[in-house]
Structure 1
Amino acid sequence: MEGSKCGGKNGSSSESRPPNPLSGAYRQCFNTAHVASPCRKTLVRHHSLVKMTTSDVSIGPALGEHCETGFIPIVRSGGWADIGFRQSMEDAYVCIDNFLQEYGRKSFCEGPSAFYGVFDGHGGKHAADFACNHLQRFIIEGEDFPREIERAVASAFLQTDIALAEACSVDNALASGTTALAALVVGRSLVVANAGDCRAVISRRGKAIEMSRDHKPVCMKERKRIEASGGYVYDGYLNGQLNVARALGDWHMEGMKSREGGPLSAEPELMSMNLTEEDEFLIMGCDGIWDVFTSQNAVDFARRKLQEHNDPVMCCKELIDEALKRKSGDNLSVVMVCFHSKPPPNLVVPRSRVQRSISAEGLRELQGFLDSLGN
């Protein structure tokens, strides 16, 4: 399945790229002379993030060369979105199972080159649509891709944020914000980048491994960064206005962002790993999913559904249907990426051998009982 989906009709990733619904205003901001080079010079990273390109959380085998031999995943993906109980839909997602081919590039290693994203907008859908349509382009056209994929991804987040600011300066009606969660599968390497409270979870033989950290203002790490940037946290909200600590866009909100920095960061946090045969699938969902599912609960649910029909699209729809039954009050969007052609295997839990012993007194009583039966 190849292609992408940015907020359009639900389904698999087998359809071609949809037209950008906001191309009129964006076109003025996307000629190479205006964006590509100047954006690099305006990217500012807060000092607390300079050394935080990748997470220090141990999640499995270290990321090695992207073309290493070993397990090669077979990617299959799908996505689904639902307005939920909201009056408007502000989420978007994208699935590209063959990232390089989609952009006319030749493969540089064995295995897949895939890109996936989930974008949870707020204050309108324009920022989510913008990131959904342009983030992957900034990655693949970056000077660090594919030599340093993690650096290319981090730079693309910041370039997308700056480009969105340029678009909003052309048309104020586009002003909005979005969280962004992106995943790249290159060969057997998985790179996940997150800015906001969407979440990515991998199933490793049925065990949930979180591949992102929710960026909430109340988190100690985020709160320290916010306060060091001149912001504050009030009642769990950044500057009393946003319930996320990182996002793209929101340039129109006073005191949140400037070209020199600010408490609302577009800097992604990255986690990387080498996939193994035990890694079954990846779930990427907006916070409306995680409001009613724990990470392990979602993996358990998705695993059972894949064993029934082995269809990632249907599984995404069933996850959202279940979230609605559990009264999630948000827009809902989810992407699933399977790393095998077959469904997850049934797990047989070995029975533990319980060591039992009997005391000397108990043996005497048992012997006495047996003797009485013979008399």
Structure 2
Amino acid sequence: MVAEAEVIHQSLDVQCRVAMEIDEIVDISAAAAAAAVAELGPEAAAVTVDVTVSELELRKSDAILDISVKPLLFVPSIRSGSFADIGHRRYMEDEHIRIDNLSSHLGSLLRCPMPSAFYGVFDGHGGPDAAAYTKKHATRFLFKDANFPRASEADNNFVESVENSVREAFLLADLALAEDSTVSSSSGTTALTAMVFGRILLVANAGDCRAVLCRKGEAVDMSQDHRPINAAERQRVEQSGGFVDDGYLNGILSVTRALGDWDLKMPRGSPSPLIAEPEFRQAMLTEDDEFLIIGCDGIWDVMSSQHAVGVVRRGLRRHDDPERCARELVMEALRLNTVDNLTVIVVCFSDEYGGSSASPCHEPGQQQQQQQQPRTRCCKSLSVEALCNLRSLLDNGGSN
């Protein structure tokens, strides 16, 4: 048997709900009930309680009174899928990493806010050597050699320390490529990494891979393409003694940041127009953030960020499978006649895709405003005896 009562405190505009269910309550004393009424104040006399004692043919501790409403903080529930294809090239030079549970993967090597995840896409050029080497040693460079910070909370100090550590890791990987005799000095790779720590999403990019966040159906770029046509990059290149010819750095390379390519960076230690230092972007994830797409430039050569978001969003609505979505995005790029290798990672931030805003796929500016219903949970409870005392106090205008 379930009896329900709704208590409305007019001055505070607070709504509390009473629901009695067998075996689902926590008992508190009648004194606590009196304290609750005292807190409400004399206006509680105007409150109505639609509960009769005769209906309470239950044992003690079978009433729940929710006297406070608290929003639940969003915690991402991470799952991902990936797909790679050689495309129309003779050789596959892309590599990628996908770790949905970083803490479990690294064990005692890492102490970090939960949940934790790590993703990387490495788009090689001049042969597969640099990309393959970077993938093989990425976790060592990032989480061991660069003194990755240990913390349980993702505060500003932690995020700043992570950025410094990742920056150091990119530079360490770049130097390691110069020193390893098995890697050709003409081989290089772009590198984009994405990390999730608690609600923090941190993206580091050197090159023209791209990370795109879907926020309520809108594409939010989480990286900048480092190409010679980019005005800021072109200025930096020219100030470093390089030049741009027909859209290529020094007439050779289509990116302005990459790991490796030591034929262009030599001699070591001297300023170079081609650098390995990453740029960072971060976001605080909320329920509006549906998924992240990480893709190599073969995807972005033929479609916009918003187009890619639309493809993945429609796929998730149909089958809720990020692996299939990654494949569908690659197939769409091939349909649009991309000529490059193709690699895509799709990272979802919920267990099940319900379209957190539930609006159809759309172009920017067409999104309808929708109000989110607040999540609530029970925080206090009253026994039958305490509830009867509360009713008596309310009937007497709280004078007791």
**How far apart are residue 136 of structure 1 and its match?**
2.6
**How far apart are residue 336 of structure 1 and its match?**
0.8
Render the CA deviation track for 1:246-280: whole Å, top value 9, x for unaligned. Answer: 00000123x56632330101000000111111100
Residue 176 of structure 2: aligned partner: 163
Indicate yes or no: 2:240 matched with 1:222: no
**How far apart are residue 101 of structure 1 and its match?**
2.1
Query: Match of 1:297, SS?
Result: helix
Indicate yes or no: 2:264 matched with 1:249: no
Residue 287 of structure 1: aligned partner: 297
**How far apart are residue 105 of structure 1 and its match?**
2.5
**Alignment size in residue pairs:** 281
Contact 2:189 2:259 in 1 (8 A): yes
Indicate yes or no: 2:243 matched with 1:240: no
Contact 1:257 1:263 in 2 (8 A): no
**How far apart are residue 203 of structure 1 and its match?**
0.2
Contact 2:256 2:273 in 1 (8 A): yes
Separation of aligned partners in 1, 2:348 and 2:234? 35
**How far apart are residue 175 of structure 1 and its match?**
4.3
Query: Match of 1:334, SS?
Result: strand
Residue 398 of structure 2: aligned partner: none
> Root-mean-square deviation (CA), in Å?
2.0
Residue 207 of structure 1: aligned partner: 218
Residue 78 of structure 2: aligned partner: 75
**How far apart are residue 115 of structure 1 and its match?**
0.5
Q: Which moved more, 1:102-111 or 1:217-226?
A: 102-111
TM-score (norm 2): 0.67
Of the three residues 297, 306, 323, the one matched with 1:313 is: 323
Of the three residues 103, 111, 116, the one matched with 1:113 is: 116
TM-score (norm 1): 0.71
Residue 273 of structure 1: aligned partner: 283
**How far apart are residue 107 of structure 1 and its match?**
6.4
Contact 1:127 1:174 in 2 (8 A): no
Query: Match of 1:271, SS?
Result: strand
Separation of aligned partners in 2, 1:284 and 1:227? 29
Residue 54 of structure 1: aligned partner: none
**How far apart are residue 305 of structure 1 and its match?**
0.2
**Structure of larger gyration radius:** 2
Indicate yes or no: 2:124 matched with 1:99: no
Residue 126 of structure 1: aligned partner: 129
Separation of aligned partners in 2, 1:306 and 1:120? 26
Separation of aligned partners in 1, 2:275 and 2:139? 19
Residue 337 of structure 2: aligned partner: 327
Residue 110 to residue 217, structure 1, CA distance change in 2 (3 Å) = closer
Greater RCO, 1 or 2 (C-alpha within 8 Å, sep 6+):
2
Render the CA deviation track for 1:172-202: whole Å, top value 9, x for unaligned. Answer: 5474001101000011111000000010000
Residue 191 of structure 2: aligned partner: 180
Residue 323 to residue 257, structure 1, CA distance change in 2 (3 Å) = farther
Separation of aligned partners in 1, 2:267 and 2:79? 38
Separation of aligned partners in 2, 1:136 and 1:245? 24
**How far apart are residue 144 of structure 1 and its match?**
4.3
Contact 1:117 1:180 in 2 (8 A): yes
Contact 1:257 1:265 in 2 (8 A): no
Separation of aligned partners in 1, 2:332 and 2:91? 20
Q: Which moved more, 1:105-114 or 1:232-241?
A: 105-114
Query: Match of 1:104, SS?
Result: helix
Separation of aligned partners in 1, 2:94 and 2:127? 9
Render the CA deviation track for 1:54-75: whole Å, top value 9, x for unaligned. Answer: xxxxxxxxxxxxxxx9321011
Separation of aligned partners in 2, 1:313 and 1:350? 29
Residue 359 of structure 2: aligned partner: 347
Query: Match of 1:191, SS?
Result: strand
Contact 2:178 2:185 in 1 (8 A): no
Amino acid at match of 1:194: N
Of the three residues 160, 166, 181, the one matched with 1:153 is: 166
Residue 153 to residue 282, structure 1, CA distance change in 2 (3 Å) = same
**How far apart are residue 133 of structure 1 and its match?**
1.9
Separation of aligned partners in 1, 2:113 and 2:287? 16
Percent identical pairs in the alignment equals 51
Amino acid at match of 2:330: I
Residue 55 of structure 1: aligned partner: none
Separation of aligned partners in 2, 1:97 and 1:185? 9
Contact 2:97 2:121 in 1 (8 A): yes
Amino acid at match of 1:119: F
Contact 1:115 1:136 in 2 (8 A): no
Separation of aligned partners in 2, 1:177 and 1:77? 27
**Alignment gaps of 5+ in structure 2:** 1-71, 151-157, 361-366, 370-400
Residue 108 to residue 85, structure 1, CA distance change in 2 (3 Å) = same
**How far apart are residue 347 of structure 1 and its match?**
0.7
Amino acid at match of 2:326: C
Separation of aligned partners in 2, 1:213 and 1:335? 17
Residue 216 to residue 256, structure 1, CA distance change in 2 (3 Å) = farther
Contact 2:177 2:183 in 1 (8 A): no
Separation of aligned partners in 2, 1:114 and 1:105? 15
**Alignment gaps of 5+ in structure 1:** 1-68, 352-375
Query: Match of 1:114, SS?
Result: strand
Amino acid at match of 1:278: D
